[in-house]
Amino acid sequence: QKEVEQNSGPLSVPEGAIASLNCTYSDRGSQSFFWYRQYSGKSPELIMSIYSNGDKEDGRFTAQLNKASQYVSLLIRDSQPSDSATYLCAVSGYGQNFVFGPGTRLSVLP
């Protein structure tokens, strides 16, 4: 059974701080890694994708991938109250469906 694990949180950070969200996965053959943001009562929204080891930056968001350690993370710089949501990690490999983690609830305190 392929697994994706995340701390459920809540992770609380003050406004303006860096929020660090972590995800580990069990399948070494995984090739694609995604971060989704889900506001309460809404559907998930894709915010980052990463396919190779290293960092990928998009605005205030940075995704980090380490395939050797089977670890992917999302950093949110200058966190805002509007970033308060649940963040879902999703992992996929060729010929495989996505496996979603349970999500980490982030709370940014004004």
Partner 1 sequence: DGGITQSPKYLFRKEGQNVTLSCEQNLNHDAMYWYRQDPGQGLRLIYYSQIVNDFQKGDIAEGYSVSREKKESFPLTVTSAQKNPTAFYLCASSIGQLNGYTFGSGTRLTVV
50 binds partner 1 (CB under 8 A): no
92 binds partner 1 (CB under 8 A): yes
Among 90, 91, 106, 108, binds partner 1 (CB under 8 A): 90
Q: How many CB atoms lie within 10 A of CB 63?
A: 24
85 binds partner 1 (CB under 8 A): no
The secondary structure of 6-67 as a DSSP string is: -----EEEETTSPEEEEEEES-TT--EEEEEEE-TTS--EEEEEE-SSEEEEETTEEEEEET
CB of 81 to partner 1, least distance (A): 21
Q: How far apart are CA 64 and CA 58, in angstroms?
A: 12
Among 20, 22, 27, 102, binds partner 1 (CB under 8 A): 102
Q: How far apart are CA 83 and CA 106, in angstroms?
A: 8
Collapsing DSSP states into helix, strand and coil, what is residue 83? helix
Among 44, 63, 65, 79, binds partner 1 (CB under 8 A): 44
49 binds partner 1 (CB under 8 A): yes
30 binds partner 1 (CB under 8 A): no
Contacts with partner 1 by CB under 8 A lie at: 8, 31-32, 34, 42-46, 49, 51, 88, 90, 92, 94-98, 100-103
